[in-house]
Structure 1
Amino acid sequence: MIAEQRRERILREIVLRGRIEVADFAGRSGLSGMTIRRDLAVLAERGLIRRVHGGAVLPETADAPVTGSRGIGTSSRPVATIGLIVPDAAYYFPPVIRGVGEAARGAGMRIVLGTTNYDPREEIHQLSRLDAANVDAIMLVTARPGIEDTATWDTIAGIRTPVVLVERSPEGVPTALRVDSVRSDHGFGAELAVDHLAERGHRGVGLLLRETATAPWVALGHARATRRHGMIDAPVATAPSPRWGDGSTSDVLRAFLDDCLAAGIRSAIVLPDDLAVGLLGIAEGRGLRVPEDFAIVAYDDEIASFASVPLTAIAPPKLAVGRRALETCLMRLEQREHAPAQQVQQLTPTINVREST
């Protein structure tokens, strides 16, 4: 590593953490204490840092190294580079990515995106790839719900880079593994929907899901809330991912509506929005009035308001999840092993009431 690269790395460390301890940084970087002290002396002569006992801190002047068009914290000289691994960049995840991006720009950080295409093997590859690229931290969204995560935990244990789980449960993480977790409380979101329908006199609520990262939590919340209200058993169905020219999704929608009506159920929660819009179309095609004959609550609230009958929807706090995940990465980088792992950050969804209920 040439001298200017070392000094840039040292300066980024000071900007990120507010100070640098020579002994600590030497242990983590593999540089000798003598080399670090020489570089600190050069940076101090340039007015970029202030030497203190055992290390250095930012200068007390307004012209700190984070300022200026060529300073640390600009796009060409980010404070830190964060990897973000998502299943895909479509539908649910763009707001999460946008929230991460907004928070990263405010903190002078760069985001590097990787996708897994819902393949757990690719998740392991992306973790190793980003670690080898020397990113400062990694945010990891689940590759697929309900999978055995042992291989992922083993990979995280074998890399040097801190990892923050996003929209992923830390359940099953080995106790020796330090990981943070930020996600929406989708179980609460489902309970919010059931409570809303119960307030409107419904004594049973069907549930229609497409297999997504959020589906298992939504199903658990639906089960808790219907038991709490003493509701009658209602159909719970899973729809396949749509394929070009394949009518299987429509068949599932028709069968689900038939089962609900046969059981005397006149309301349903549907994940995601496009499936809810499809169910609305089938209900209207049969002459059912929404919400008078059948009420629908969509889960996601991406396109629910554009339905022929604007759909009441549960809105997960996707932007906030992205921002909080980035803030958690920043805290981990600032405090490193001194910061306790945070595995209980669950942000609650909201309900947007429209004409379908």
Structure 2
Amino acid sequence: MLAPERHELILRSLRRHGRLRVAELVAELGVSAITVRRDLAELDSAGLLRRVHGGAIGTSPAGRETQGSQLTIGIVVPSAASYYSDVIRGAEAMAGRYGARLVLGVSGYDVERERQRIDKVLEVGVAGLLISTALGDGAADQLDSRLDEIDVPVVLMERAFGFPHVAREYDHVRTDHAYGAMLALRHFAALGHRRVAINLQATVTAHWLRRGIESAAAALDVEVFLSPVDLPMRGDDPVALAQLDAFLAECEAFDSRAVLVHSDEHGARLVERAMERGLRVPEDLAVIAYNDVTAALAVVPLTAVCPPKFALGGTACELLLRKLKGDPAPVQHLSLLPDLNIRTSCGAVADAEPRVALFRN
């Protein structure tokens, strides 16, 4: 059967049923799923139907306005708060410029819930999907086929999956977190610090931060200590003080007066505890936080590496919208550079004289 004949049968069936599924068309037309998806893509481009997850729904040429006013984009993220709130706002602002709208799904960093949220968003009939998976790049071997099963265009945010973990290449927009780590270490080195203690929150970002720390430390001739202490996410955690004290003891043992902490919440609580123990910030202990969501609100405003969260959401959304409007650009892998916002917490310069009894009980 020739393509024009299949297209006519698909449109005729769509007029009867209002919605089609790929599996049903495979059985009806006697062709492969790949052929059916290609036919649906061609008809979608012609404005004769709209592709959705698993099939297609009816539309009219007039419904696909050049301003994108009828276009709906899905966005699935691990959280709608803190870091990702700015990512969502950036995507929403860009969608508004194109006259499109967003449909949000939140996974809570749960892999199974993420699968459900993706399915729910796709059922709405979105034309494309922005997604930051619950799994980070360091856990790509656990990804399975969830991305490759999505049959609308996908742009990844803060993820950079590639062969052999996915079957095809995806557009992605991510923060160069390795560069962010370099910014922090370079600032410490400029202040005269040669030993830096580091505590990384157990998040997907840590995968890239470790890479950046390793290369930056070698380039800057700075010694680093990566702490195994798991700082509490919440300051009211019953074990918070013990963990904070353990990390401060590590800083003392390493003879470090400079600390890089991921994230802002940890950095702010660490500063409070250091001051409770008689340390001056930044004179006795210089602190840089990573994320810059609430860093400026700390008791001592925190110098912080600031990923371009808002710009990341906007860039990813624009990349997807341009693709949906027929932009012939090749697959793009974009890295955005973070900034360093310098505040009060990082003014200390290491003394030439030996340090005496800075850490007191």
Assess same fold via TM > 0.5. yes
CA distance in 2, matches of 1:254, 1:105: 47
What's the counterpart of residue 335 of structure 2? 346
Of 304, 317, 328, the residue aligned with 1:326 is 317
CA spacing shift, 1:240–1:317, aligned 2, 3 Å: same
1:222 aligns with 2:235: no
Select between 156-165 and 200-209 the one with higher mean Cα deviation. 156-165
**Structure 1-normalised TM-score?**
0.76
Q: Deviations over 1:119-145 (max 9, x none)?
A: 112222333333343211111112143
CA spacing shift, 1:312–1:213, aligned 2, 3 Å: same
**Structure 2-normalised TM-score?**
0.75
What's the counterpart of residue 171 of structure 2? 180
CA spacing shift, 1:199–1:146, aligned 2, 3 Å: same
CA distance in 2, matches of 1:227, 1:316: 23
What's the counterpart of residue 9 of structure 1? none
CA distance in 1, matches of 2:193, 2:260: 12
CA spacing shift, 1:212–1:340, aligned 2, 3 Å: same
- Report the residue type matching 2:220 in the other structure: H
Q: Deviations over 1:203-257 (max 9, x none)?
A: 0111112222322212221222112222234242352553696323332221111
What's the counterpart of residue 164 of structure 1? 155
Deviation at 1:286, TM superposition (A): 1.4
Select between 203-212 and 273-282 the one with higher mean Cα deviation. 203-212
What's the counterpart of residue 355 of structure 1? 344
Of 41, 48, 64, the residue aligned with 1:28 is 41
Gaps of 5+ in 2: 1-13, 20-36, 50-59, 347-361
What's the counterpart of residue 11 of structure 1? none
1:71-150 alignment, distance < 5 Å:
73=68, 78-145=69-136, 148-149=139-140
CA-atom RMSD in angstroms: 3.0
Deviation at 1:171, TM superposition (A): 4.1
Q: Deviations over 1:243-279 (max 9, x none)?
A: 6963233322211111111111110111111100111
Give 3-state SS (helix, strand or coil) of 2:169's partner: coil
Give 3-state SS (helix, strand or coil) of 2:344's partner: coil
Deviation at 1:2, TM superposition (A): 5.7
CA spacing shift, 1:103–1:238, aligned 2, 3 Å: farther
Deviation at 1:27, TM superposition (A): 4.6
Select between 121-130 and 83-92 the one with higher mean Cα deviation. 121-130
Give the paired residue count.
303
What's the counterpart of residue 185 of structure 2? 194
Deviation at 1:175, TM superposition (A): 6.7
Gaps of 5+ in 1: 7-23, 37-41, 50-57, 59-64, 67-71
| 1:206/1:269 contact within 8 Å kept | yes
Give 3-state SS (helix, strand or coil) of 2:325's partner: helix
1:279 aligns with 2:270: yes
Deviation at 1:307, TM superposition (A): 1.8
Q: Deviations over 1:82-136 (max 9, x none)?
A: 1100111111110000000000111111100001111112222333333343211
Give 3-state SS (helix, strand or coil) of 1:205's partner: strand
1:299-310 alignment, distance < 5 Å:
299-310=290-301
Q: Deviations over 1:44-101 (max 9, x none)?
A: xxxx79xxxxxxxx9xxxxxx66xxxxx64xxxx331111001111111100000000
